Chain A
Amino acid sequence: MSTKGFAIGVALSAFVAAAPAAAQETPVGKAIYDKWCAECHGEDGAGDGSAAAYMLPQPRDFTTGLYQIRTTPSGELPTDDDILRMIDEGMPGSAMPGWKEYLSDTERNDLVQYLKTFSPFFEDEAPSPVEYGGPPGVNEEGLAEGKEFYDKIECWKCHGQAGRGDGPSAPTLEDDWELPIRATDLTEGWNFNGGHTTEAIFARLMTGLNGAPMPSFADLIDAEFMTEEQLWRVAQYVKSLSPETPEVREVVRAALVETLPTSVDDPAWDAIERFYIPLVGQIIVEPRWFAPTVDGVWAQAAHDAQRVALRLTWNDPSESPNPEWEEWRQRVVSVMEPSVEATDELLSDALTVQFPTTIPEGMKRPYFLMGAQDEPVYLLSWNSGGGATEALGRGMNAIEPIGGASTLTTESTFDDGQWRLYLSRDLITESADRLAIETGRPIPMAIFAWDGSNGESGTQGAISTWYFLYLDQPTENITYAFPVVAVLLTAVLGLVIIARAQRATGGGGPEPGSD
Chain B
Amino acid sequence: MNFSLRQILALVVVSGISIATACGGGGEPTDDGADGDAPAAAGPVVSPDSAAMITGTVSFEGTAPAAEPIDMSEEPTCAEKHPDGAMRQLVMVAGGGLANVYVYVKSGLGDRSFPTPSAPVTLDQDGCEYMPHVLAIQVGQSLEIKNSDGILHNINTQPTVNRGFNISQPVVMETSREFSQPEVMIPVKCDVHGWMEAFIGVQAHPYAGVSGADGSFSLADLPPGEYEIEAWHELYGTQSQTVTVGVKETAEVSFTFSSDMAGNHVPLGEPLVLR
A contacts, CB < 8 Å to B: 63-65, 73-77, 117-121, 123, 125, 152-154, 157-158, 168-169, 172-174, 176, 208-210, 212-220, 222-223, 225
Residues of A within 8 A of B167 (CB): 74, 208, 215-219
Q: Are A217 and B275 in contact (CB under 8 A)?
A: no
Additional pairs, 8, CB under 8 Å, beyond known A77-B163, A120-B273, A212-B166 = A73-B165, A74-B165, A153-B170, A154-B170, A168-B74, A176-B158, A213-B166, A215-B156
When the two chains form their complex, are residues A215 and B160 in contact, meaning their CB atoms are under 8 A apart? no
Contact of A153 among B165, B168, B274 (CB under 8 A): B168
Residues of chain B within 8 A of A220, CB atoms compared: 168, 170, 173
8 Å CB contact of A121 from B163, B166, B173, B174: B163
A213 B168 Cβ-Cβ under 8 A: no
Cβ contact within 8 Å between B191 and A213: yes
Also in contact, A217 and B171, with CB within 8 A (given A77-B163, A158-B191) = no
CB of B266 within 8 A of chain A?
no
Q: Is the CB of A169 within 8 A of B192?
A: yes
Find chain B residues with CB under 8 A from A215 CB: 154-156, 166-168, 191
Q: Which of B174-195 contact A (CB under 8 A)?
A: 174-175, 191-194
16 contacting pairs across A/B (C-beta < 8 A): A75-B157, A120-B272, A123-B275, A153-B170, A153-B171, A154-B152, A158-B191, A169-B191, A169-B192, A176-B158, A215-B166, A216-B167, A219-B169, A220-B173, A222-B175, A225-B173
Size category of the B interface is 20 to 34
Q: How far is the CB of B156 from chain A (nearest CB, A)?
A: 7
Does B194 contact A216, Cβ atoms closer than 8 Å? no
In this assembly, does B271 line the interface, its C-beta being within 8 Å of a C-beta of chain A? yes
Across-interface contacts of B274 in A (CB, < 8 A): 117-118, 120
Interchain CB contact under 8 A, B191 and A173: yes
Which residue of chain B lies nearest to A173 when distances are taken between CB atoms in the complex?
A: B191
Given contacts A168-B74, A172-B194, A213-B156, contact A154 B151 (CB under 8 A): yes
**Which residues of A sit under 8 angstroms from B174, Cβ to Cβ?**
223
Q: Which of B166, B174, B193 has the most CB of A within 10 A?
A: B166
B108 proximal to A (CB < 8 A): no
How far apart sit A464 and B152, CA to CA, in the bound complex (Å)?
39
Whether, in the assembled complex, B43 has its beta carbon less than 8 Å from a beta carbon of chain A, the answer is: no
**B166 contacts A157, C-beta separation under 8 Å:** no
Whether A75 lies near B171 (C-beta < 8 A) is no
- Closest residue on chain A to residue B162 by CB atoms: A75
**Is B163 a contact of A76 with CB atoms below 8 Å?**
yes
Residues of B within 8 A of A125 (CB): 163
Q: Tell me whether A223 and B175 are in contact in the complex, defined as CB-CB below 8 angstroms, given that A64-B160, A120-B274, A215-B154 are known contacts.
A: yes
